[in-house]
Amino acid sequence: MKLQVHYAWIILLLSFFALLSAQGVRLSFGAFIQPWEEEFTTNRGIISLVAFISYVVYALSQPYVGKLVDRYGVRSVLSFSMLIIGLSTIVTFFVQNPWQLMIIYGVIASIGFGGASNVVSSVAVANWFVEKRGLAFGLVSAGTAGGQLLLVPLSLFFIGQFGWKDTVLIFGLFLTIVVFPILFLFMRTSPAEKKMRAYGEKEREQSQYSGQKPETKETLSFMQLLKKKEFLFLMIPFFICGVTTTGLMDTHLIPFAQLCGFSPSVTGAAVSLLAGFNIMGTVLSGYLSDRWSCKKILTFLYGVRALTIILLLLIINDASLFGFFIEQSHLLIIFAISFGVVNFATVAPTIKLATEYFKHFSVGAIIGWIYLSHQFGSAIGSFIPGLLFDATGGYEISFIASIILLIGAAVMSFLLPKTTMAAK
């Protein structure tokens, strides 16, 4: 008997692969901080400025990416964004000054990162899944964590073996000659392009899956969205999410571990464990988003994330309180596991709530604004800790500020209004 797989799962796999490739390269930035400091004879503040520019460009691109997806479709935006990243990464091989890095990586490549992002993949999932949508959001978000698991340790290995220049060349060629063609050939925006229904959809008018475009939904302006509590209380915590994950941890965890004197093997193990448990937490969060209250899940995730950062403060202050059996390296590993579980796990419940609160409006544009806040948070979370490091020689102030922000995010998530949409 022939096994038939709904094309929605192919779309999910392609979206996962795209995020793994593009965001894995982006999240490898921390591995390049020390080599770039040495190559360009500069300080951490300057290299952090590259990350800041990148995140700002990424952030500003998100609403426009959402609109482009609504207009041109997932396939075009995702595949050509991947091509931009690949070519820009190859050109990075030739940079000789930090300002060139700011233009090539900080601006051009980051436009591509913005297009090969969760905004596009979230629209694809929303279009292709009616049942198991929360699980699908969790699985596709795990693509970013998968990139963190595979490409961040791989970049550390390649840099150690071949140097940073050959590493960017390898990554750029992979994105350009492997990932781009696969996405261009097989990605589809909606079931209408395949003349079929979305996964789990029971009824649909014939005109909508016979090749015609679905009805265009109304788009709310940013000012209109700001007047809605459900949007504000999703956006602000997601901003804090960006500060504390892709901003602070994904940019500065490796330099922090190097500052503390951890060996490359311990640092690599911590990064790998963080990414591995990140995948588990992201998928589990998506699964639970179909069954439990998403606002309660978010409250829990932000609260636990605040607790995990306390472990880094214990490392800084030499945690003799824990006696002989927990050394600093053990604390780093415990942090990596616990933070990994709650790292990207906020994505699925946040985006699922957005699709439920605003189900009658253009989902691409609204998700784009929400991700803009996340990437602005990432920009600040990557840049300010670099400045504070140059001023104080450490990360303690940054960690304390993150804990306070995360407590606020947990409170706001708890105050989100209930949804009326039944879980699928």
Please spell the DSSP secondary structure of 92-154, one letter per residue: HTT--SHHHHHHIIIIIIHHHHHHSSHHHHHHHHHHHBSTTHHHHHHHHHHHHHHHHHHHHHH
Quick check: 320 pLDDT over 70?
no
Residue 48: per-residue pLDDT:
82
pLDDT tens digits for range 93-123: 999 999 999 999 999 999 999 899 888 888 8
Q: Is 360 exposed, middle or buried, given 0-12, 13-18 or 19+ CB atoms closer than 10 A? A: exposed
Contact residues for 329 (Cβ-Cβ < 8 A; gap 6+): 262, 266
Most confident of 83-87, 356-360, 375-379: 83-87
- The span from the CA of 274 to the CA of 339, in Å, is 7
16, 140 in Cβ contact below 8 A? yes
Token readout for 73 is 């479709």
Tell me the average pLDDT of the chain.
86
CA distance 190 to 192: 5
pLDDT at 211 over 50: no
What is the structure's pLDDT at 2?
53
The answer as to whether 420 is a domain residue is no
Inside any domain, residue 33: yes
Domain that holds residue 139: 7-191+209-414
Task: Please give the full DSSP string across 65-90, using - where no structure is assigned.
Answer: HHHHHHHH-HHHHHHHHHHHHHHHHH
Q: Is residue 396 part of a domain?
A: yes
Q: Is residue 199 part of a domain?
A: no
pLDDT of amino acid 218: 61
CATH no. for residue 245?
1.20.1250.20
The reported pLDDT for the residue numbered 209 is 38
Q: What's the domain count of the chain? A: 1
pLDDT at residue number 331 = 87
In angstroms, rounded to a whole number, what is the distance separating the alpha carbons of residues 111 and 27? 15
Residues linked to residue 361 through DSSP beta bridges, in sequence order: 218
100: left (phi over 0), alpha (psi -120 to 50) or beta: alpha
Specify if 385 maps to a domain. Answer: yes
pLDDT for position 215: 53
State pLDDT tens for residues 4-63.
Answer: 788 999 999 999 999 999 989 988 888 898 899 999 988 878 888 888 898 889 888 877
Within its chain, how far is the Cα of 321 from the centroid? 35
Task: Give a yes or no: residue 29 inside a domain.
Answer: yes
CA-CA distances (angstroms) from residue 350 to 204, 229, 261, 416, 423?
A: 27, 14, 37, 11, 14
Let me know if residue 201 belongs to a domain.
no
Evaluate if pTM is beyond 0.85.
no
Per-residue pLDDT tens over the stretch 121-141: 888 988 898 888 888 888 888
> Is 50 within the bounds of a domain?
yes
